[in-house]
Protein backbone atom coordinates (compact mmCIF):
# COMPACT_ATOMS: atom_id res chain seq x y z
CA UNK A 1 0.00 0.00 0.00
CA UNK A 2 1.31 3.39 -0.94
CA UNK A 3 2.02 5.84 1.85
CA UNK A 4 2.57 9.57 1.63
CA UNK A 5 5.10 11.55 3.60
CA UNK A 6 3.53 14.95 4.24
CA UNK A 7 6.26 17.59 4.00
CA UNK A 8 5.03 20.86 5.49
CA UNK A 9 6.39 23.94 3.76
CA UNK A 10 6.78 25.75 7.05
CA UNK A 11 8.96 22.95 8.39
CA UNK A 12 11.14 23.10 5.29
CA UNK A 13 11.60 26.84 5.59
CA UNK A 14 12.39 26.44 9.28
CA UNK A 15 15.08 23.97 8.27
CA UNK A 16 16.34 26.56 5.80
CA UNK A 17 16.38 29.14 8.58
CA UNK A 18 18.58 27.00 10.81
CA UNK A 19 20.83 25.95 7.93
CA UNK A 20 21.29 29.30 6.22
CA UNK A 21 23.86 30.55 8.69
CA UNK A 22 25.86 27.34 8.29
CA UNK A 23 26.05 26.82 4.53
CA UNK A 24 27.54 29.73 2.60
CA UNK A 25 26.97 29.67 -1.17
CA UNK A 26 29.63 27.76 -3.10
CA UNK A 27 30.93 29.34 -6.27
CA UNK A 28 31.66 27.10 -9.25
CA UNK A 29 35.25 27.76 -10.22
CA UNK A 30 37.26 26.89 -13.31
CA UNK A 31 39.97 24.54 -12.14
CA UNK A 32 40.86 20.87 -12.47
CA UNK A 33 38.00 18.44 -11.71
CA UNK A 34 39.00 16.74 -8.47
CA UNK A 35 36.75 13.71 -8.94
CA UNK A 36 34.19 12.63 -11.51
CA UNK A 37 30.56 12.08 -10.56
CA UNK A 38 30.01 9.80 -13.57
CA UNK A 39 31.71 6.42 -13.21
CA UNK A 40 31.68 6.05 -17.00
CA UNK A 41 30.47 7.98 -20.06
CA UNK A 42 28.06 6.35 -22.50
CA UNK A 43 28.23 7.26 -26.18
CA UNK A 44 25.40 9.68 -27.01
CA UNK A 45 22.89 8.52 -29.61
CA UNK A 46 19.93 10.80 -28.68
CA UNK A 47 21.11 13.98 -26.97
CA UNK A 48 23.94 16.26 -28.00
CA UNK A 49 24.61 19.09 -25.55
CA UNK A 50 27.10 21.87 -26.21
CA UNK A 51 30.25 21.42 -24.11
CA UNK A 52 31.15 24.31 -21.80
CA UNK A 53 27.62 25.75 -22.07
CA UNK A 54 24.85 26.61 -19.62
CA UNK A 55 21.22 25.71 -20.38
CA UNK A 56 19.02 28.17 -18.48
CA UNK A 57 15.51 26.93 -17.63
CA UNK A 58 12.55 28.56 -15.90
CA UNK A 59 11.33 26.16 -13.22
CA UNK A 60 7.91 26.16 -11.57
CA UNK A 61 6.43 23.63 -9.16
CA UNK A 62 2.97 23.84 -7.58
CA UNK A 63 1.05 21.57 -5.21
CA UNK A 64 -2.68 21.99 -4.62
CA UNK A 65 -4.67 20.07 -2.00
CA UNK A 66 -8.35 20.08 -1.11
CA UNK A 67 -11.51 18.01 -0.61
CA UNK A 68 -13.56 18.17 -3.85
CA UNK A 69 -17.29 18.61 -3.33
CA UNK A 70 -16.96 19.05 0.43
CA UNK A 71 -15.13 22.36 0.70
CA UNK A 72 -14.05 25.27 -1.49
CA UNK A 73 -10.88 25.70 0.55
CA UNK A 74 -7.61 24.61 -1.03
CA UNK A 75 -4.01 24.71 0.11
CA UNK A 76 -1.43 25.80 -2.47
CA UNK A 77 2.36 25.99 -2.38
CA UNK A 78 4.35 27.28 -5.35
CA UNK A 79 8.11 27.25 -5.94
CA UNK A 80 9.74 29.15 -8.81
CA UNK A 81 13.40 29.44 -9.79
CA UNK A 82 15.93 29.64 -12.60
CA UNK A 83 17.67 26.29 -13.11
CA UNK A 84 21.11 26.56 -14.68
CA UNK A 85 22.31 23.22 -16.07
CA UNK A 86 25.98 23.48 -16.91
CA UNK A 87 27.71 21.10 -19.31
CA UNK A 88 31.41 20.53 -18.69
CA UNK A 89 33.88 19.32 -21.32
CA UNK A 90 32.40 15.85 -20.74
CA UNK A 91 28.77 15.33 -21.89
CA UNK A 92 28.27 13.03 -18.88
CA UNK A 93 29.40 15.52 -16.18
CA UNK A 94 26.69 18.13 -15.57
CA UNK A 95 26.06 20.63 -12.79
CA UNK A 96 22.71 22.00 -11.58
CA UNK A 97 22.71 25.43 -9.93
CA UNK A 98 19.52 27.10 -8.64
CA UNK A 99 19.07 30.89 -8.87
CA UNK A 100 16.26 33.35 -8.05
CA UNK A 101 14.32 30.83 -5.95
CA UNK A 102 11.00 31.92 -4.44
CA UNK A 103 8.38 30.24 -2.25
CA UNK A 104 4.71 31.25 -2.20
CA UNK A 105 1.81 29.78 -0.26
CA UNK A 106 -1.93 30.35 -0.20
CA UNK A 107 -3.14 33.06 2.13
CA UNK A 108 -6.87 33.65 2.06
CA UNK A 109 -7.69 33.86 -1.67
CA UNK A 110 -4.29 34.49 -3.26
CA UNK A 111 -0.70 33.35 -3.14
CA UNK A 112 1.70 35.34 -1.01
CA UNK A 113 5.36 35.10 -0.06
CA UNK A 114 5.89 32.40 2.55
CA UNK A 115 7.43 33.25 5.91
CA UNK A 116 11.24 33.26 5.97
CA UNK A 117 11.38 33.37 2.16
CA UNK A 118 14.95 34.68 2.21
CA UNK A 119 16.26 31.71 4.21
CA UNK A 120 14.43 29.24 1.96
CA UNK A 121 16.07 30.70 -1.16
CA UNK A 122 19.48 30.91 0.48
CA UNK A 123 19.60 27.18 1.30
CA UNK A 124 18.14 26.09 -2.05
CA UNK A 125 20.67 28.20 -3.98
CA UNK A 126 23.67 27.47 -1.74
CA UNK A 127 25.04 24.25 -3.24
CA UNK A 128 25.64 23.25 -6.87
CA UNK A 129 24.57 19.67 -7.59
CA UNK A 130 26.83 17.57 -9.80
CA UNK A 131 25.19 14.65 -11.59
CA UNK A 132 25.96 11.86 -14.03
CA UNK A 133 24.02 12.28 -17.29
CA UNK A 134 24.04 9.26 -19.60
CA UNK A 135 22.42 10.27 -22.92
CA UNK A 136 19.24 11.52 -21.24
CA UNK A 137 19.23 9.34 -18.13
CA UNK A 138 20.24 10.87 -14.77
CA UNK A 139 22.09 7.98 -13.12
CA UNK A 140 23.89 9.43 -10.11
CA UNK A 141 23.84 12.57 -8.00
CA UNK A 142 26.87 13.88 -6.13
CA UNK A 143 25.48 16.45 -3.67
CA UNK A 144 27.49 18.62 -1.32
CA UNK A 145 27.95 17.01 2.10
CA UNK A 146 25.95 19.78 3.77
CA UNK A 147 23.00 19.80 1.31
CA UNK A 148 19.66 19.87 3.18
CA UNK A 149 17.49 16.81 2.44
CA UNK A 150 14.42 18.87 1.46
CA UNK A 151 16.51 21.00 -0.95
CA UNK A 152 18.01 17.88 -2.54
CA UNK A 153 14.51 16.38 -2.97
CA UNK A 154 13.34 19.49 -4.83
CA UNK A 155 16.34 19.16 -7.14
CA UNK A 156 15.53 15.45 -7.60
CA UNK A 157 12.05 16.40 -8.79
CA UNK A 158 13.47 18.96 -11.21
CA UNK A 159 15.98 16.49 -12.68
CA UNK A 160 13.25 13.82 -12.93
CA UNK A 161 11.41 16.17 -15.31
CA UNK A 162 14.70 16.75 -17.18
CA UNK A 163 15.35 13.01 -17.60
CA UNK A 164 14.48 10.97 -20.71
CA UNK A 165 15.33 7.23 -20.66
CA UNK A 166 14.25 6.31 -24.20
CA UNK A 167 16.75 4.38 -26.33
CA UNK A 168 15.50 6.05 -29.53
CA UNK A 169 13.55 9.33 -29.77
CA UNK A 170 11.67 8.08 -32.83
CA UNK A 171 10.26 4.93 -31.19
CA UNK A 172 7.87 4.29 -28.30
CA UNK A 173 9.40 2.61 -25.26
CA UNK A 174 8.20 0.59 -22.27
CA UNK A 175 10.72 0.27 -19.43
CA UNK A 176 11.46 0.69 -15.75
CA UNK A 177 12.80 4.12 -14.85
CA UNK A 178 14.19 5.38 -11.56
CA UNK A 179 13.38 8.94 -10.58
CA UNK A 180 12.00 10.86 -7.59
CA UNK A 181 8.97 8.50 -7.53
CA UNK A 182 11.12 5.37 -7.15
CA UNK A 183 11.69 2.63 -9.73
CA UNK A 184 8.50 2.63 -11.83
CA UNK A 185 7.05 1.01 -14.92
CA UNK A 186 7.13 3.80 -17.51
CA UNK A 187 5.76 4.20 -21.03
CA UNK A 188 7.19 6.72 -23.51
CA UNK A 189 5.04 7.54 -26.54
CA UNK A 190 6.19 9.68 -29.47
CA UNK A 191 3.36 12.16 -29.95
CA UNK A 192 4.63 14.08 -32.95
CA UNK A 193 7.80 14.86 -34.86
CA UNK A 194 7.89 18.03 -36.95
CA UNK A 195 10.91 19.86 -38.27
CA UNK A 196 13.37 20.00 -35.40
CA UNK A 197 10.86 19.23 -32.61
CA UNK A 198 9.93 15.87 -31.10
CA UNK A 199 7.09 15.71 -28.56
CA UNK A 200 7.05 12.77 -26.17
CA UNK A 201 4.45 11.69 -23.60
CA UNK A 202 5.70 9.88 -20.50
CA UNK A 203 3.24 7.95 -18.31
CA UNK A 204 4.09 6.18 -15.06
CA UNK A 205 2.21 3.36 -13.40
CA UNK A 206 2.72 4.57 -9.82
CA UNK A 207 1.21 1.36 -8.43
CA UNK A 208 4.22 -0.47 -9.93
CA UNK A 209 6.81 1.73 -8.20
CA UNK A 210 9.20 0.16 -5.71
CA UNK A 211 10.69 2.27 -2.95
CA UNK A 212 7.87 4.80 -3.13
CA UNK A 213 6.66 6.36 0.12
CA UNK A 214 6.57 10.11 -0.28
CA UNK A 215 4.86 13.15 -1.70
CA UNK A 216 4.73 13.95 -5.40
CA UNK A 217 7.59 15.11 -7.61
CA UNK A 218 9.81 16.07 -4.68
CA UNK A 219 7.71 19.20 -4.09
CA UNK A 220 6.81 20.79 -0.79
CA UNK A 221 3.17 20.40 0.14
CA UNK A 222 0.75 20.93 2.98
CA UNK A 223 -2.68 19.51 3.70
CA UNK A 224 -4.62 17.88 6.51
CA UNK A 225 -2.56 15.46 8.59
CA UNK A 226 -5.64 13.20 8.59
CA UNK A 227 -4.46 12.00 5.18
CA UNK A 228 -1.39 10.36 6.71
CA UNK A 229 -3.41 7.31 7.77
CA UNK A 230 -5.76 7.21 4.77
CA UNK A 231 -4.94 4.93 1.80
CA UNK A 232 -4.58 6.30 -1.73
CA UNK A 233 -7.17 4.82 -4.10
CA UNK A 234 -5.93 6.45 -7.30
CA UNK A 235 -2.51 7.79 -8.24
CA UNK A 236 -1.20 8.82 -11.66
CA UNK A 237 1.61 10.79 -13.26
CA UNK A 238 2.27 11.97 -16.80
CA UNK A 239 4.76 14.30 -18.48
CA UNK A 240 5.02 15.94 -21.89
CA UNK A 241 8.52 16.67 -23.14
CA UNK A 242 9.61 18.70 -26.16
CA UNK A 243 13.05 17.93 -27.58
CA UNK A 244 14.74 20.18 -30.13
CA UNK A 245 17.47 19.29 -32.64
CA UNK A 246 18.51 22.61 -34.17
CA UNK A 247 21.97 23.17 -32.65
CA UNK A 248 22.62 19.91 -30.88
CA UNK A 249 19.77 17.87 -29.37
CA UNK A 250 18.38 19.00 -26.03
CA UNK A 251 15.27 19.24 -23.86
CA UNK A 252 13.31 22.38 -24.69
CA UNK A 253 10.46 21.92 -22.21
CA UNK A 254 8.97 19.40 -19.81
CA UNK A 255 5.60 19.60 -18.07
CA UNK A 256 4.58 16.99 -15.50
CA UNK A 257 1.47 16.42 -13.41
CA UNK A 258 0.91 13.93 -10.61
CA UNK A 259 -2.43 13.40 -8.88
CA UNK A 260 -3.39 11.43 -5.76
CA UNK A 261 -6.93 10.77 -4.56
CA UNK A 262 -7.27 9.47 -1.02
CA UNK A 263 -10.01 7.10 0.13
CA UNK A 264 -13.02 8.76 1.84
CA UNK A 265 -12.61 9.25 5.57
CA UNK A 266 -14.39 6.91 7.96
CA UNK A 267 -16.79 9.70 8.95
CA UNK A 268 -18.12 9.84 5.39
CA UNK A 269 -16.21 12.95 4.26
CA UNK A 270 -14.90 13.01 0.69
CA UNK A 271 -11.31 11.97 0.14
CA UNK A 272 -8.52 14.53 -0.15
CA UNK A 273 -7.18 15.20 -3.65
CA UNK A 274 -3.65 16.53 -4.09
CA UNK A 275 -2.09 17.54 -7.40
CA UNK A 276 1.52 18.43 -8.12
CA UNK A 277 2.54 20.22 -11.31
CA UNK A 278 6.12 20.84 -12.42
CA UNK A 279 7.42 22.61 -15.50
CA UNK A 280 10.79 23.34 -17.08
CA UNK A 281 11.04 25.73 -20.01
CA UNK A 282 14.31 26.62 -21.74
CA UNK A 283 15.05 30.36 -21.77
CA UNK A 284 18.43 30.40 -23.49
CA UNK A 285 21.78 28.66 -23.97
CA UNK A 286 24.89 30.54 -22.85
CA UNK A 287 28.27 29.54 -24.27
CA UNK A 288 31.18 29.99 -21.87
CA UNK A 289 34.41 31.58 -23.06
CA UNK A 290 36.34 29.25 -20.71
CA UNK A 291 35.98 25.55 -19.85
CA UNK A 292 33.35 24.89 -17.16
CA UNK A 293 35.03 22.85 -14.45
CA UNK A 294 34.54 22.45 -10.73
CA UNK A 295 36.80 22.01 -7.73
CA UNK A 296 34.01 20.40 -5.65
CA UNK A 297 35.02 17.01 -4.28
CA UNK A 298 32.62 14.07 -4.49
CA UNK A 299 31.82 13.41 -0.84
CA UNK A 300 28.84 11.08 -1.42
CA UNK A 301 26.76 9.55 -4.19
CA UNK A 302 23.03 8.97 -4.39
CA UNK A 303 20.26 8.72 -7.01
CA UNK A 304 17.00 10.43 -7.97
CA UNK A 305 14.76 8.50 -5.57
CA UNK A 306 13.04 10.65 -2.93
CA UNK A 307 14.75 10.57 0.45
CA UNK A 308 12.94 11.04 3.74
CA UNK A 309 14.77 12.68 6.63
CA UNK A 310 14.80 9.36 8.51
CA UNK A 311 16.58 7.41 5.79
CA UNK A 312 19.37 7.94 3.30
CA UNK A 313 20.12 6.49 -0.12
CA UNK A 314 23.55 8.07 -0.10
CA UNK A 315 26.80 6.16 -0.46
CA UNK A 316 29.72 7.83 1.33
CA UNK A 317 32.83 8.27 -0.80
CA UNK A 318 36.14 7.29 0.76
CA UNK A 319 39.58 7.96 -0.57
CA UNK A 320 41.42 4.99 -2.00
How confident is the model over 43-92, as pLDDT tens digits? Answer: 888 999 999 999 999 999 999 888 776 667 778 889 999 999 999 988 99
Domains, the chain, ranges and CATH? 1-8+49-212+230-287 (2.30.230.10)
Three-state SS across 3-57? CCCCCCHHHHHHHHHHHCCCCCCCCCCCCCCCCCCCCCCCCCCCCECCCCEEEEE
Say which range, 133-147, 162-176, 216-230, 301-315, has the weakest mean pLDDT: 216-230
Beta bridge partner(s), residue 140 = 132
pTM of the model: 0.82
| DSSP designation for 84 | E
How many Cβ atoms sit within 10 Å of the Cβ of residue 142? 25
Tell me the C-alpha distance between 158 and 35, whole Å: 24
Q: Provide CB contacts within 8 A for 211, sequence distance 6+.
A: 182, 183, 305
CB 289 within 8 A of CB 272: no
CA-CA-CA-CA dihedral for 10, 16, 19, 21, to nearest 10 = -120
Distances (CA, A) of 48 to 45, 72, 201, 251, 283: 8, 47, 21, 10, 18
In the chain, what is the greatest distance between 2 CA atoms, to the nearest angstrom? 64
- pLDDT band (50, 70, 90) for residue 273: confident
Distances (CA, A) of 74 to 80, 110, 177: 20, 11, 32
Amino acid sequence: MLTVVIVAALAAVTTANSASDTYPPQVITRSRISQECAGYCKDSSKFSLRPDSTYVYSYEGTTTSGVPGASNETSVIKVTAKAHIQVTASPCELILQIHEASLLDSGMTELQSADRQREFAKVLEANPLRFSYQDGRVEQLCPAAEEAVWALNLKRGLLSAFQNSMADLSRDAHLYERDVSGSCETTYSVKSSMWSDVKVLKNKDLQSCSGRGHQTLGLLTTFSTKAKSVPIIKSEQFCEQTIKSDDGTYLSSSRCQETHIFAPFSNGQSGIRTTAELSLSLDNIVQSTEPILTDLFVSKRTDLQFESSSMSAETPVTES
